[in-house]
Structure 1
């Protein structure tokens, strides 16, 4: 089913039934007025919606037009509707668990997009930030915690040369979802260098999403947990 919003949007409101994951709203380059209309139309069909890549003006418009709003200012992502209330109260029906690692503090905005996406989809999330390989000893305690908690996957967010996912893949027995970021000096090339580095990972078990795509990583982690849970129940 496609729901038309004026002459500028067509919502795929049955995506979750078809492919196991809901449609999200990509806010970049939308006016606040367009965004509000799209969210209202979505909420006529679903009880909650996830919105990514928000700017300050759009966040203000969401808070002004909707009562149930959860905003992650760092990740520039928001949830409107029933799940916003659940996230504000930190109570989500959890279907699985993932861990998010960032190489540096500068990678946290991308990681926070992944975090809210994963929470919206029903994952418990462990966060370990600024644990990159420039000081590899910082990984010791997080990896102990990951093994104790039996996570389904790890999201590894890194800029610069993007080595963190490869190191993690050599040390753990769960899928690594690698997220290259546009953080780094000139030859980082806006994230292309860590993207290539992650694609060239020598250890197996690494899947790579696009540059700065925290949303895609969160969805991927959800699908892994969803399939693992379904397997354990069969």
Structure 2
């Protein structure tokens, strides 16, 4: 995405973007080499969405520098797996950043415009799954999707699910997030005619094996139309769901 010149110059003047970073944007280079990272500036052109910052393992300074580089493109910036302690270090350098505490995500800039009718349903088995669910919801919203959150409707109290089934069925794509034995994905998959992306979480007691039990349940589901992502990967589920939802919006 070619940066808006006035916006880029304003960011340089305010110190948000260094002259070197601005020069990279104006030259339309596919990669910004920061020394410790090579930021992919062409990912949106190739994949539909810009590069996302995976915050775990990165220092606050590194996240700030990558964030400023991506912000200069004019696209919304998303950083996942950012702890509250790390955000406290980031906030002075990125005062425009919004921290989503439950999701452990940081966003910069305005989200992409959302389709008016199509939406993604994010469904969780329990309250303990909320961090993964909110990571999915914030990711989807950042990249231009309406999201309906349907939380704590697991199979232990299945009547809670049936109270929301029409809302779930109305979604373009459904993300189901569950730990323990992970049965919710199979149940929902047998009740809807839309793509379902299942996310196993690491929630559960010992034999859950930090999400492996839920992962195997979802992979072995007898309900058709279920795709499974990795344990606790709310981001990955939302990225795929966003691609599906945008395709539906284009056809609609």
TM score, norm. by length of structure 2? 0.84
> Match of 2:13?
none
**1:182 partner SS:** coil
> Match of 1:192?
212
Within 2, Cα distance between the matches of 1:22 and 1:63? 22
- State whether residues 35 and 58 of structure 1, in contact with CA within 8 Å, keep that contact through their aligned partners in structure 2: no
Counterparts of 1:56-67 in structure 2, within 5 Å, are 56-67=84-95
**1:129 equivalenced with 2:151 (yes/no):** yes
After superposition, the C-alpha distances for 1:70-89 in whole angstroms (9 at most, x for unaligned) are 22100100101233xxxxxx
**1:131 partner SS:** coil
> Match of 2:188?
168
**1:48 equivalenced with 2:80 (yes/no):** no
Identify the match of residue 4 of structure 1 among 33, 41, 49. Answer: 33
| Unmatched 5+ stretches in structure 2 | 1-29
> Match of 1:87?
none
| CA shift for structure 1 position 206 | 0.3
Within 2, Cα distance between the matches of 1:230 and 1:144? 24
- When structure 1 is superposed on structure 2, of 53-62 and 151-160 the one drifting more is 53-62
**1:203 equivalenced with 2:223 (yes/no):** yes
**1:30 equivalenced with 2:79 (yes/no):** no
> Match of 2:114?
94
- State whether residues 98 and 221 of structure 1, in contact with CA within 8 Å, keep that contact through their aligned partners in structure 2: yes
Which of structure 1's runs of 4+ aligned residues deviate more than 4 A?
none
| CA shift for structure 1 position 212 | 0.2
After superposition, the C-alpha distances for 1:23-71 in whole angstroms (9 at most, x for unaligned) are 1000001111111111112222234210000012321133211232222
> Match of 2:201?
181
> Match of 2:244?
224
- State whether residues 103 and 158 of structure 1, in contact with CA within 8 Å, keep that contact through their aligned partners in structure 2: yes
**1:21 equivalenced with 2:71 (yes/no):** no
Within 2, Cα distance between the matches of 1:49 and 1:123? 15
Structure of higher CA gyration radius: 2
- State whether residues 99 and 105 of structure 2, in contact with CA within 8 Å, keep that contact through their aligned partners in structure 1: yes
**1:111 equivalenced with 2:111 (yes/no):** no
Q: How many pairs were matched up? A: 221
**1:222 partner SS:** helix
- State whether residues 118 and 218 of structure 1, in contact with CA within 8 Å, keep that contact through their aligned partners in structure 2: yes
**2:130 partner SS:** helix
Within 2, Cα distance between the matches of 1:47 and 1:133? 39
- State whether residues 50 and 75 of structure 2, in contact with CA within 8 Å, keep that contact through their aligned partners in structure 1: no
| Unmatched 5+ stretches in structure 1 | 84-91
- State whether residues 32 and 57 of structure 1, in contact with CA within 8 Å, keep that contact through their aligned partners in structure 2: no
- State whether residues 80 and 105 of structure 2, in contact with CA within 8 Å, keep that contact through their aligned partners in structure 1: yes
Within 1, Cα distance between the matches of 2:165 and 2:64? 42
Identify the match of residue 144 of structure 1 among 155, 166, 178. Answer: 166
| CA shift for structure 1 position 140 | 1.1
